[in-house]
Structure 1
Amino acid sequence: MKRLAGAALAVSFAAFTAGGAVAEEYRMGLITPPPHQWTVTAKEAADEIKAKTDGRVDILIFPSGQLGSEAQMLQQLQTGAMDFAFFTLGEFSNRDPNYGIFLAPFIVDDVAGAQKLLKGETAQKLLDGMADFGLVGLGWGMAGMRMIVTSDPVETVEDLKGKKIRTIPFAPELAFWEGLGAAPTPMPLPALYDAFANGQVDGMQIDVEGTWNSKYFEHASSIIISDHMMFPMAAIASGRKWAGISEEDRAIVEAVFSEKLDSLVAGYAEIDADYRKKLETTEVTVMDVDRDWFGPALEEWYVRWREEAPMLKELEAEASGK
């Protein structure tokens, strides 16, 4: 009887740790493939969180859209069927246009400018506002600065007219391409390689990292290094599941994600430079362009979105240092 009692006590002790919290597995979804820096960062954060919480918070990573599209994953987060995610801005900006303001063309010049804005007051307001979606905002990350990859040669912006450009389905990005006379074509990231290879799309708005790692360059004629947009990522948690994590462990999760996201953003200056060098070793034409290359469509975009997303004016003021 004493031996049985001792075994029961051991099981009880294993199940409960400091603060009486139950060790639990959590699911984290991403649309990016395993080699992508978002997925790498998620895995690093999960490992550190598990270690620092003595296994109480064990986050399992599901990349490449294994848990569904971002729309499907958002529903899972809201019901508590999924726990954490790294999301693009699409599902947020489609519900509140203010979440699309980070996609303002040339709002920043480079990764350093993006990092500053993502730690600013406007970014924090938007992060706090995720409570309206039943979520907890843990921080902002980003992918590399946006550039353009096309299957046909491109020299001027006129060459993009009528081209089917793969985008993420949110209004500010769609409006950008429509203003250039292109045909924005939303599709899931995992489907992009085949779609580009078989001509379902003529090009894409992407970053140098994704172009190299996913081998989009294999079917490209032009790579246009424009750095015309930053591409933020939101680290989020299900509000329902977050409430069930102890205050001590929530603090650990927040601190780890904050550190990892900051390193992720800062690292993209070097990442972009390194992957550009790799792309320049291919037979694809790599061309640099600036704001003027895009013509009057940019100012037309701003006129529209200053009205539709009032917080854009706040972001512009931050970006200009006013």
Structure 2
Amino acid sequence: MKKVFGILTILMLLFTGCGNNSDSVKKLKLAHALTEGHPVHLAMVEFAKEVKDKTDGKVEILIFPNGQLGGEREITELMQAGAIDMIKTNAGPMESFAKEYSVLSLPYLFKDIHQNLAVLKSDIGEDILNATIDRGFIGLTFYNSGTRNMYTKKPVKSVTDLNGMKIRVQTSKTMVKMTELLGGSPSPLSFGEIYTALQQGVVDGAENNLISYAESKHYEVAPYFTFDAHSISPDVMIMNTKAWNKLSEDEQKIIKQAALNSFDYQNKIWFETEDKLVDSLKAQGVQFFEVDQNEFVEKVQPLYNDVMKDPLIKTYVERIKEFKY
């Protein structure tokens, strides 16, 4: 009964006051699973304001946060079906649609977060965003998702501490393989399932950025956070191509530029938010650990031996390594 009620609620949200353009206003639905205080959500609010302003109110972005329309898997399926026009997801799950995205999840590929952000704003980033045009959706912009780190129910001070630990990962072959190489047992779960899975012992830990860890209150059930910075996998805003093609050329340009502008806005508030979190989380009882990153880098090298056999992936990896910023 609860499941039926949830489905009915989603259908009401989708079709009540949405998608009806009879008043000449094009209303586009944008869904994501983050909270309304998250820097990515705040950036999308700015994105929506700019689009409405620059189109003189002719295009309106309706944002559905907090997983109102489902987790990342569900909203991706709804977007593919055309029930949702736009979504925010992470680059990790996107690799099942275009292997170009898998490059962004490769462990220890980028020198640091700043090189990562510069690459995302370059031609390399645009090539990846456009990789799914013939698959039903187009990437509009990336969002800074920080470095991804391990957080667990017992301390991880070295790579050997991960041996045998069940770690929640995204639905990503790259993340699954990486976790296996680090000695863990990968458990793909949706983001909304993590808290309960940690609480009930289904998994021993998870991996994500510091802000998502704090926003989701995962520190309540996994109070040990290890700065291993194994991946810098960004978020990405994508749009159904049928919805995109219904826009005029001018409207497309406005939406694209507003999306890129929101990326710059989000970067600023991301770092401001992140800087304040460590002390706040320590006050909540979280213990932080720094590790010898070289141990982790060495463990994941077999992953590169495999992926570099693919000419496309090899080209992207080399482009990123040679990228000057």
User: TM-score, structure 1 length as denominator?
Assistant: 0.86
Q: Which moved more, 1:230-239 or 1:103-112?
A: 103-112
Stretches of structure 2 lacking an aligned partner (at least 5 in a row): 1-20
Distance 1:260 1:163, change over 3 A: same
**Alpha-carbon distance in 2 for matches of 1:248, 1:215:** 42
C-alpha contact 1:98 1:309 (8 A) present in aligned 2? no
SS in 1 for 2:62: strand
| 1:37-83 superposed Cα distances (whole Å, 9 cap, x missing partner) | 22222222112212322221111111233223434333332332211
Who is 1:235 aligned against?
237
Is 1:142 matched up with 2:144? yes
Who is 1:286 aligned against?
288
Who is 1:41 aligned against?
43
Deviation of the 1:309 alpha carbon:
6.8
Who is 1:5 aligned against?
none
Is 1:112 matched up with 2:121? no
Distance 1:285 1:167, change over 3 A: same
Deviation of the 1:24 alpha carbon:
2.5
Is 1:186 matched up with 2:185? no
Deviation of the 1:188 alpha carbon:
1.3
Deviation of the 1:312 alpha carbon:
4.1
Distance 1:80 1:234, change over 3 A: same
Who is 2:129 aligned against?
127
**Alpha-carbon distance in 1 for matches of 2:178, 2:201:** 22
**Alpha-carbon distance in 2 for matches of 1:246, 1:34:** 30
Q: Which amino acid aligns with 2:183?
A: G
Who is 1:155 aligned against?
157
| 1:112-154 superposed Cα distances (whole Å, 9 cap, x missing partner) | 1111111233222111212022112212223121111100122
Of all paired residues, the percent bearing the same amino acid is 26
1:298 to 300, 303, 316: 300
Distance 1:191 1:271, change over 3 A: same
Deviation of the 1:223 alpha carbon:
0.9
C-alpha contact 1:135 1:236 (8 A) present in aligned 2? yes
Distance 1:172 1:252, change over 3 A: same
**Alpha-carbon distance in 1 for matches of 2:224, 2:78:** 39
Deviation of the 1:99 alpha carbon:
1.4
C-alpha contact 2:157 2:290 (8 A) present in aligned 1? no
Q: Which amino acid aligns with 2:84?
A: M
Q: Which has the larger radius of gyration?
A: 1
C-alpha contact 1:109 1:227 (8 A) present in aligned 2? no
> Equivalent residues in 2 for 1:70-81 (5 A)?
70-81=72-83
C-alpha contact 1:101 1:312 (8 A) present in aligned 2? no
Who is 1:170 aligned against?
172
Q: Which moved more, 1:59-68 or 1:23-32?
A: 59-68
Stretches of structure 1 lacking an aligned partner (at least 5 in a row): 1-13, 17-21
Deviation of the 1:176 alpha carbon:
0.4
Who is 2:226 aligned against?
224
SS in 2 for 1:68: coil
| 1:178-216 superposed Cα distances (whole Å, 9 cap, x missing partner) | 111211111111221222122221111111111222221
Who is 1:244 aligned against?
246
**Alpha-carbon distance in 2 for matches of 1:290, 1:115:** 24
Who is 2:69 aligned against?
67
Number of matched residues? 304
**Alpha-carbon distance in 2 for matches of 1:171, 1:252:** 35
**Alpha-carbon distance in 2 for matches of 1:45, 1:321:** 28
**Alpha-carbon distance in 1 for matches of 2:304, 2:272:** 30
Distance 1:269 1:300, change over 3 A: farther
Deviation of the 1:295 alpha carbon:
5.4
SS in 1 for 2:309: helix
Deviation of the 1:311 alpha carbon:
2.5
User: TM-score, structure 2 length as denominator?
Assistant: 0.86
**Alpha-carbon distance in 1 for matches of 2:279, 2:108:** 23
Distance 1:236 1:96, change over 3 A: closer
Q: Which moved more, 1:210-219 or 1:258-267?
A: 258-267
C-alpha contact 2:103 2:316 (8 A) present in aligned 1? no
**Alpha-carbon distance in 2 for matches of 1:312, 1:94:** 18
C-alpha contact 1:78 1:238 (8 A) present in aligned 2? yes
Distance 1:301 1:266, change over 3 A: farther
Deviation of the 1:90 alpha carbon:
3.7
Q: Which moved more, 1:238-247 or 1:26-35?
A: 26-35
SS in 2 for 1:227: strand
